Structure 1
Amino acid sequence: MMNPFLTEDRVRGVMYYGKMDDFIDDIKLAQYQSLASHKGRVLVYGVGASYIHKGDTLIYCDLACWEIQLRYRKGMPNFKQDNDDEDVLKKIKRSFFIEWRIADKHKMDIFENIDYFLDSNQEGNPKIVTGNALRSALKKTTQRPFRLVPYFDPGVWGGQWMKKNCDLDEKQNNYAWSFDGVPEENSLYFRFGDTRIEIPAMD
């Protein structure tokens, strides 16, 4: 189903405008839905878990696109793929044109019903905030000027200007990319008391 959108190009694909529903096996979904109806406490987890059951408490685990890209570089595969060693640009292409699109649509479908958002951007240091608190913060953000979290990356044409002017890591050979103000790529920081939460700007 994904192949026509992936193309043979290393970087450019074709935008997938479908939804996560397109990839759901209805027979398997019905089987899991029957399991989730058992008495007692049942934990349903994973991508699309809310398809199986809305639950008494819905927790959404969020991860910024830039962090996903950094994990691809460390060998993380795409969803349900065995492409650990694949060209990083091809991994990002699959995410940008398909995976992130369907995940964002699914998130928006359930956004108002999410009880807790789990920030999983720092490995080994998850942080959680109530859905009401995050939705309130997002609403306030739209009513004032705000800035997205920028990120910087080396590249073959990079130079030293950004190092000097943006206070960046001197150990890097150069910086060629500066992403700031691109909702599909950048993220947002919110502080709740002493806890800083990072979410994708697409939220």
Structure 2
Amino acid sequence: MTPQPEPSEYSEWRKTSQALAPAETAPQTGTGGSSAHARYAIYPVFPLSGTTIARGHSTLARQLIALAQSGDGPPAVVIDGFGGVFWAELRRRLDVELRALGVAPTWLDVSSAWQPPAALEALVEPFLGDDDPLFGTRFTGVLGDFFRPDALDALVPDATCDLTILYGCGAALAGWAAPLVYVDVPKNELQFRARAGSIANLGMTHARPPKTMYKRFYFVDWPALNQHKCALLPRIDLIIDGQRPDDIVWLPGADLRAGLTAMSHSFFRVRPWFEPGPWGGQWIKEQVPELPRDVPNYAWSFELIVPENGLMFSSNGLQLEVSFDFLMYHDYQAVLGDCADQFGYEFPIRFDFLDTFDGGNLSLQCHPSTDFMRRHFGETFTQDETYY
């Protein structure tokens, strides 16, 4: 496992000028935003009705005990999640809270069942386009390919202990008949963690240069993890927003699915995120006072780049973020309507705001045909680009 920092050392485990999304919702007026600046919300939320988002490791520990004791077998819980979760930190904090409640857990780390590093390198190498910094092909395998089946089978609940917790990316692949918890982390935060070197690619023990890691995230790790997430969604018992390791929020899985159903039949905004860049200007910085000022410019406001944006739900003054793909996996037919058969789980529209005021010139881009995209990159459709 990659050594992981204390969450108080924010500058050590995430490299960005952007603030962490707060656990509390801001006052909303008009079209969004704070009461002092109501034109634009950087944390747009979709309200949940009849449910309560919970906060903290102590409340989660109580819920895990209740879930584990509700089954017929030995008390056990499976905690699965996306790549880039600080698993060691989550385990440490939950262990303290569980023991304070009189429960001494046995922890099993599913990463012990990974394939050896050399086997994993051979598995992913055909999809990474050699040394090219950008070109690659979407992974065609599954998350289970990263594991040794015999090692997964050897991970079984300990019937003699208070509670057995199997945790890590792919933990549900062990096939336990136990409550399932899923930890999600926004993909912008995963990139900030990668830039700080605090996370690594699936199955790897050390960080690599950020651009190298991102290329593998995009072409290999995220496709495998997303397919796994899609399969798990109908049976997730609890969902955790893991972007603040010391201040988690969580929600029952049934309430998440109800919220996704309501969202799929309504209007909503995804959560934007912001980045400096070569052509970046000053307009966004001047118009959105909630954003940090210690950056040279803002080139992008990523408004709807759905592979990397999140959705924020709110209740009782708290907000919880999940990745946009949860919505598509839950009910892509309701979201896409007549286009559902053509695009499936992939949302076909993307847009962002590009700021060049007092900045530079935009880049030139060449988008290939759909057939070329499929043959050479494994993508299902190409992009047609329009500027307003």
TM-score, normalized by length of structure 1? 0.91
- In the alignment, which residue of structure 1 is the partner of 2:148? 25
- Greater mean alpha carbon deviation, residues 16-25 or residues 98-107: 16-25
Once residues 183 and 57 of structure 1 are traced to their aligned partners in structure 2, the CA distance between those partners, rounded to angstroms, is 29
Distance (Å, rounded) in 1 between the aligned partners of 2:228 and 2:254 = 18
Quote the offset at 1:54 in angstroms: 3.3
Contact 1:159 1:174 in 2 (8 A): yes
**1:74-111 CA distances to partner (integer Å, 9 max, x unpaired)?**
11222332442x32111111111111111111011111
Give the corresponding residue for 1:36: 157
| TM-score of the pair, normalised by structure 2 | 0.49
Q: Displacement of 1:123 after TM fit?
A: 2.6
Distance in 1 (CA, whole Å) between partners of 2:213 and 2:177 is: 32
Work out the CA distance in 2 between the residues paired with 1:39 and 1:82: 32
The residue correspondences of 1:93-112 to structure 2 (distance < 5 A) are 93-112=215-234
Distance 2:272 2:135 in 1: 23
The aligned counterpart of 2:303 is: 180
Structure whose alpha-carbon radius of gyration is higher: 2
Q: Do structure 1's residue 50 and structure 2's residue 179 form an aligned pair?
A: no
* Aligned pairs, number: 200
Q: Give the equivalent residue in structure 1 for 2:193.
A: 71
Gaps of 5+ in 1: none
Please say if residues 36 and 52 of structure 1, whose CA atoms lie closer than 8 Å, have aligned partners that are also in contact. Answer: no
TM-superposition CA deviations, 1:104-148 (whole Å, max 9, x none): 110111111110001101131111110011111111111111111
> Which residue identity lines up with residue 36 of structure 1 in the other structure?
P
* Deviation (angstroms), 1:182: 1.7
Matches of residues 1-203 of structure 1 in structure 2 within 5 Å?
1-7=123-129, 8-32=131-155, 35-36=156-157, 38=159, 40=161, 41-76=163-198, 77-84=200-207, 86-167=208-289, 168-203=291-326
The offset of 1:55, in angstroms, is: 3.8
**Comparing 125-134 with 75-84, which one deviates more in the overlay?**
75-84
In structure 2, do the counterparts of structure 1 residues 55 and 125 end up closer, same or farther at CA, with 3 Å as the change threshold? farther
User: Match for 2:238: what amino acid?
Assistant: Y
Name the CA distance, whole Å, in 2 between partners of 1:110 and 1:87.
31
Tell me the C-alpha RMSD between the 2 structures.
1.7
| 1:24 Cα deviation from its structure 2 partner | 2.4
User: How far apart in 1 are the matches of 2:176 and 2:226?
Assistant: 18
CA distance in 2, matches of 1:17, 1:181: 25
Counterpart of 1:128, as a letter, is: W
CA separation in 2, counterparts of 1:172 and 1:160? 10
In 2, are the aligned partners of 1:59 and 1:118 still within 8 Å (CA)? Answer: yes
Query: Structure 1 CA distance, aligned partners of 2:300 and 2:132?
Result: 21
Q: What letter is aligned with 2:157?
A: A
Task: Output the amino acid matched with 1:53.
Answer: G
Q: Mark the runs of 5 or more structure 2 residues left unpaired by the alignment.
A: 1-122, 327-388
What is the distance in 2 between the residues matched to 1:31 and 1:149? Answer: 41
Identity over aligned pairs, percent: 29
